[in-house]
A and B are shown apart, each in its own frame.
Chain A
Amino acid sequence: MLGYNRAKGLVNLNQKNLHSLTHYYGIFCLLSALLPTLGVFFIFTICDDLVFAELVKEYIPNEVINSKDYNFTIVLAQINNSVEGLVFGTPPQWVTNAAEIWKSWVIKSNILTMIVCAITILTSGFLSYKKIHSEFRSRNAVEKIVMTILGVSSVIAILTTIAIIFSVVFESIRFFALIPYDEFLFGTVWNPQFEGAERAGSGQEGLSQYGAIPLFAGTFLISIIALCVSVPIGLLSAIYLSEYASSKERAFFKPLLEVLAGIPTVVYGFFAALTVAPFLRSSGSMLGLDIASESALAAGLVMGIMIIPFISSLSDDVINAVPQSLRDAGYGLGSTKNETVMKIVLPAALPGVVASIILAVSRAVGETMIVVMAAGLAANLTANPLDAVTTVTSQIVTILVGDQEFESAKTLSAFALALTLIIITLGMNFYALHVVKKYREQYE
């Protein structure tokens, strides 16, 4: 702030021949003083623990280091606990000593950090302050800084995505070393047990079977049920909202519909498991149908309700974006309202509508909570919506929840499932983009 004010003050004095507007000089000073300081601060906070860990080694007695069950990480954790004031039993004297020293380092490093930050902010502020003269193009400099910040942000997003994919890929490679991929992809029985690792060593037929087809079949069965519910309801309500509803009705209904999108999926899960599923079961038994209490139908229906706002809200926006001139043309030729909507507005809005449906599909495929709570965990390969099925996501959850040994094929299979899911959704997104592009070429 100081740099900002000083720059502004200085700039006000000789405003005549400035290249840029005054406040650009102020912003430039501010940015160039703050950004390096922030950087320095983060480096210090991250590094001090690492440095301390190295330094603290000196304070560990030799006999501890030389003992056979020495593990530096555990010792470090002991010291850290002591620093935090968490003491279990009576730690050895050297641990308490090391902790005391560690504490004093922390205080010192905090002071050091503050001093270094202050120096950085002053020097970089001063440097940028000195840079200010009438020739200096601060507007361009600010543009560059802003561009860099934006660029770095998007790079972080992209890198995270790549990192996620790689972490999944590496674990999956380990899984496919244990289980052949054709068995995984085309096997029709999913029955993970913990002999997986042992089985790979011996090459014997174990009890475990990792055929992913039932899981994907379950996923798609539930997604299709969800789409059967959400596409008609969502699309028709979008048409009503954008074409027929008065502005008052629209102002009332649209937010209400969007509230559906804000309900946590766990709550939908309750609803599916405690309300919809028993209802389906009792009405099914009245008709003489045997409906499992955890059925694909219940999960699919509730998931469909969850997806409605995605489809309706997006489609509504797209339909609204269709130019009024097209509607006028339709009316001018003597179309009724319905003809105009169905034959002119909807075809023109189709790419956007398709995009909204694809988004809804990827939501449905990736949805976990509802399925875990309502669809059950039995990996049945069935097309009957009244049976219990399970999905890829709910299997991943069951496999990874709780303490698991990481080397077993069962745990690793979660990553293979995740990888396949990623590949399938990516493929769907590419296909969707392709479809949208094709329509766009045709219609614009």
Chain B
Amino acid sequence: MNSKKNDLKSLELTVGDVFSKNARLKARNVNVFYGENKAIDNVTIDIGSKEVISFIGPSGCGKSTFLRCFNRMNDTIDSCVIQGEITIDEENIYDKKIDVVPLRARIGMVFQKPNPFPKSIYDNVAYGPRIHGLSDNKEHLDNIVEEALKRAGLWKEVSDRLSSPGTGLSGGQQQRLCIARAIAVSPEVILMDEPCSALDPIATAKIEELIHELGNEYSIVIVTHSMQQAARVSKRTAYFHLGKLIEVGKTKEIFTSPKHNQTEAYISGKIG
């Protein structure tokens, strides 16, 4: 009952439908503080199963901070305090009983800059399965690596040089390697923090295509600065401004007929 009331409170702030029918991740009244600074203000949103949702908004609006709440990456920042509730499959991820290690295996993350480990391509992808003990023998591990690389659309390009360093690949290939690395541990959700901002248009197109395909199997949350990208890859879009979630809705509707005037201002290029 109590949570229903809170939901209504936050609805006053957010325009559009924050709820999803088969929600996998649920954020309820989330506040994030950096010391005294409130970075996220009372955000409530559902992220559906096998849904691609994009977070857009001007720089510093808190979308990346909010994204990092989902796999508790903010834990590494000492001054960061998180209030509210985030659940994955009805389990509160900030519950004391929850171990952050398996959680992060369930919720993978791809970062803004491609950050392959200074290891071989094979070892990069095999890293996750190894630390989580997902395979007992070499053959199985080979299969996992091959499968992940294939899904990331990188297999054809690197199958003959799996032992060469991952850092020797081009920027776009590196980012796809990072995606392969993330899906190798078979997560349920993939968080992407501006995955294409360091890439050229062709590499970006490939990644977007990949996101499109992966959206059939995973829930994907993508933070992006490019509205075109949000329009191309996602079914739903959430607009953040100054730590508040302003509007959520079907991507088409947000971009064609935004309901909130701030969203409209951003879409038409007046803010940001």
Q: Give the B-binding residues of A (Cβ under 8 A).
A: 323, 325-336, 339, 343-344, 347-348, 442-444
Which of B101, B116, B119 contacts A336 (CB under 8 A)? B101
Tell me whether B118 and A334 are in contact (CB under 8 A): no
Tell me whether A344 and B104 are in contact (CB under 8 A): no
Is the C-beta of B76 less than 8 angstroms from some C-beta in chain A? Answer: yes
Minimum C-beta distance from B165 to chain A (A): 6
Which of B103, B115, B185 contacts A325 (CB under 8 A)? B115
Tell me whether B117 and A332 are in contact (CB under 8 A): no
Is the C-beta of B113 less than 8 angstroms from some C-beta in chain A? Answer: yes
Contact residues in B for A332 (Cβ distance below 8 Å) = 71, 73, 104, 108-109, 111, 182
Tell me whether B118 and A347 are in contact (CB under 8 A): yes
Assuming the contacts A334-B103, A343-B131, asked whether A328 and B115 have C-beta atoms less than 8 A apart, the reply is: yes
Tell me whether B105 and A328 are in contact (CB under 8 A): no
Tell me whether A348 and B109 are in contact (CB under 8 A): no
Query: Which B61-81 residues sit within 8 Å CB-CB of chain A?
Result: 71, 73, 76
- Residue in chain A with minimal CB distance to B178: A329
Minimum C-beta distance from B169 to chain A (A): 13
Contact residues in B for A334 (Cβ distance below 8 Å) = 100-105, 128, 131-132, 185
- Residue in chain A with minimal CB distance to B72: A331
Assuming the contacts A442-B165, A443-B165, A443-B167, asked whether A333 and B127 have C-beta atoms less than 8 A apart, the reply is: yes
Given contacts A326-B115, A334-B104, could you give 15 more A-B pairs where the C-beta distance is less than 8 Å? Answer: A323-B115, A328-B73, A332-B73, A332-B104, A332-B109, A332-B182, A333-B108, A333-B185, A334-B132, A335-B101, A343-B131, A347-B119, A348-B117, A443-B165, A444-B167
Contact residues in A for B109 (Cβ distance below 8 Å) = 328, 332-333
Minimum C-beta distance from A24 to chain B (A): 40
Is the C-beta of B241 less than 8 angstroms from some C-beta in chain A? Answer: no
Contact residues in A for B115 (Cβ distance below 8 Å) = 323, 325-326, 328-329
Is the C-beta of B236 less than 8 angstroms from some C-beta in chain A? Answer: no
- Residue in chain B with minimal CB distance to A325: B115
Provide a sorted-by-A list of 25 A–B residue pairs whose CB atoms are within 8 angstroms. A325-B113, A325-B115, A328-B76, A328-B111, A329-B117, A329-B181, A330-B117, A332-B109, A333-B104, A333-B108, A333-B128, A333-B181, A333-B185, A334-B101, A334-B102, A334-B104, A334-B105, A334-B128, A334-B132, A343-B127, A343-B131, A347-B117, A347-B119, A443-B167, A444-B118
Q: Give the A-binding residues of B (Cβ under 8 A).
A: 71, 73, 76, 100-105, 108-109, 111, 113, 115-119, 127-128, 131-132, 165, 167, 178, 181-182, 185
CA distance A326 to B76 in the complex (A): 13
Name the residue in B100, B116, B118, B167 with the highest tally of chain A Cβ atoms < 10 Å from its Cβ: B118
Which of A328, A339, A443 contacts B131 (CB under 8 A)? A339
Tell me whether B117 and A326 are in contact (CB under 8 A): yes
Assuming the contacts A329-B111, A443-B165, A444-B167, asked whether A335 and B118 have C-beta atoms less than 8 A apart, the reply is: no
Contact residues in A for B73 (Cβ distance below 8 Å) = 328, 331-332
Minimum C-beta distance from B171 to chain A (A): 13
Tell me whether A331 and B181 are in contact (CB under 8 A): no
Tell me whether A443 and B108 are in contact (CB under 8 A): no
Tell me whether B182 and A333 are in contact (CB under 8 A): yes
Minimum C-beta distance from A335 to chain B (A): 5
Minimum C-beta distance from A333 to chain B (A): 4
CA distance A442 to B117 in the complex (A): 11
CA distance A331 to B73 in the complex (A): 7
CA distance A335 to B109 in the complex (A): 13
Contact residues in A for B131 (Cβ distance below 8 Å) = 333-335, 339, 343
Minimum C-beta distance from B130 to chain A (A): 8
Minimum C-beta distance from A336 to chain B (A): 6
- Residue in chain B with minimal CB distance to A322: B118
Minimum C-beta distance from A107 to chain B (A): 70
- Residue in chain B with minimal CB distance to A440: B118
CA distance A444 to B174 in the complex (A): 13
Contact residues in B for A347 (Cβ distance below 8 Å) = 117-119
Name the residue in A330, A334, A335, A336 with the highest tally of chain B Cβ atoms < 10 Å from its Cβ: A334
CA distance A287 to B86 in the complex (A): 62
Tell me whether A442 and B178 are in contact (CB under 8 A): no
Contact residues in B for A326 (Cβ distance below 8 Å) = 115, 117-118
Contact residues in B for A327 (Cβ distance below 8 Å) = 76
Contact residues in A for B71 (Cβ distance below 8 Å) = 332
Assuming the contacts A334-B105, A334-B128, A347-B118, asked whether A325 and B165 have C-beta atoms less than 8 A apart, the reply is: no
